[in-house]
Amino acid sequence: MASNSRNHFSSKFGFIMAAAGSAIGLGNIWGFPTQTANNGGAVFLIIYLLMVFLLAFPILVAELTIGRYAQSNPIRSLKKISPKWKISWIAIISIVAVSLILSFYAIIAGWLIGYFISNGVKLLGMNNTANWLTTFSIARNLMLMIIFMLLTMLVVRNGIANGIEKCSTYLMPLLLVLFIIMTIYIFTQSGAKEGLKMYLIPDFSHLSFNLAISAMGQAFFSLSLGVCTMMVYGSYLKKDTNLPTIAAQVAIFDTAIAFIAGLLILPAMFVAQNNGVQIFSESGKLLHSDTLVFKVLPNLFNTMGTSGLVISSIFFLLMIIATLTSSISMLEVPVSCAIEELNQSRSIAVTWISVIIITISSIIIWNFNELFSFFVQLTTVYMQPIIGLFIALISGWLWNRNKVLQELKKGYANIQESFFWKIWPIYIKIICPIFMLLIFFH
């Protein structure tokens, strides 16, 4: 496909919503509160915020800028940045990483579908089916994962402006509103205060390098970095957009949702504990990684009587959409490469790539205890930050600084005089890499 025939996001707001849609998902609502609860609360929150703004944000700008400059898929984009050094293998590793992420993501997203449908099924009095949908089993996991993947395929097949942008534009703000309403409700429940304390009052005895590594991985996962997703989205961006501003808006929106999710879920955790739900094991860690979203929140909805059923349905529906706007951004990475590098049609690329991902996902489902956490760790704790490190090195060392400047100037004429330009080039070249290496090698 010639670059001038590429699809583009039709409006700036649409792009922000699509990129925020990619960023906002299970990482914010499941990953962040779970990690915060497991890592001592407020300290994790503080380190996470530092990681987002000091490490992830500069790399987000880099990914978006590379994509928009090259107006191409990640393989070709990296080739264009540095024809001399063979760096397009980084795009290939990203494709592997993002496919593995989608394989486990689709399983959890499937559970959301299960909880959503179970509400309707309960109304019809089919309690056994409702139970089946919300109880862990291979058959249920497989069925729901496949439904979720089919939904993802459907949106990605329809392309950028039609599928991705429309989906995100209305629903992300709605999610924010629902969260705020639920947070206000939770504060009226007994036990909530204890959760709030844990979330907002730091106990620095929890501080450790492991915590820093978890927070770094969580920041990269939440902002969809280090797997070329944002590079691909950047390549669909028009030349007149101001990249640092847009990146900041996406990072702030994403962090706000994670913060509010914590504000809801940590207090909800203690409210549920008050109601007799066991949450922590003897060692003080969460019993299961699915406890917060799939036990604590349903417990909260139960306390609300019949309106709980309505709120629960809206919550799970919005969550499904939030995960869908993330999963489509994952699938778009290999698909954009297959379309442009292998000259395939969008629907063929979507089909065969999804079949591979569904296969990997099925293997994980069959060996859940052995493989699930392994893949989560491998991709989010190691692959994403390491690839992110390479993106920083590439933008800082291999990409001609004047070319970067020219690209950024297209949407921000006075950038040379800005505070951003005084700091960012050096930052991405030296400070980010050193900081990341320090954390890794400690």
Q: Which positions touch ligand PHE (CB under 6 A)? A: 22-23, 25-28, 98, 101, 221-222, 224, 227, 229, 326, 329-330
Contact 81, 399 (CB under 8 A): yes
Distance between CA atoms of 15 and 168, rounded to whole angstroms?
Answer: 9
* Complex with ligand PHE: residue 189 or 255, whichever CB lies closer: 255
In the bound complex, what is the minimum distance in angstroms from residue 111's beta carbon to ligand PHE? Answer: 14
* Complex with ligand PHE: residue 27 or 262, whichever CB lies closer: 27
**CA 323 to each of CA 72, 159, 230: distance values in angstroms, whole numbers, following the listed order:** 25, 18, 16
In the bound complex, what is the minimum distance in angstroms from residue 380's beta carbon to ligand PHE? Answer: 8
The residue number with the shortest CB distance to ligand PHE is 27
- Element spanning 302, H or E: helix 297-302
With vertex at residue 96, the alpha carbon angle to CA 78 and CA 17, rounded to the nearest 5 degrees, is 70
In the bound complex, what is the minimum distance in angstroms from residue 226's beta carbon to ligand PHE? Answer: 8
Q: What is the DSSP letter of 283?
A: T
Tokens of 11: 């409006």
**CA 148 to each of CA 99, 139, 164, 318: distance values in angstroms, whole numbers, following the listed order:** 15, 14, 15, 14
* Complex with ligand PHE: residue 261 or 271, whichever CB lies closer: 261
In the bound complex, what is the minimum distance in angstroms from residue 350's beta carbon to ligand PHE? Answer: 16
* Complex with ligand PHE: residue 63 or 340, whichever CB lies closer: 63
Q: What DSSP string describes 154-189?
A: HHHHT-IIIIIIHHHHHHHHHHHHHHHHHHHHHTTS
**CB-CB neighbours of 213 under 10 Å:** 17
Q: What is the DSSP letter of 382?
A: I
* Complex with ligand PHE: residue 227 or 237, whichever CB lies closer: 227
In the bound complex, what is the minimum distance in angstroms from residue 221's beta carbon to ligand PHE? Answer: 5
In the bound complex, what is the minimum distance in angstroms from residue 373's beta carbon to ligand PHE? Answer: 17
* Complex with ligand PHE: residue 26 or 358, whichever CB lies closer: 26
**CB-CB neighbours of 440 under 10 Å:** 15
* Complex with ligand PHE: residue 47 or 192, whichever CB lies closer: 47
In the bound complex, what is the minimum distance in angstroms from residue 396's beta carbon to ligand PHE? Answer: 22
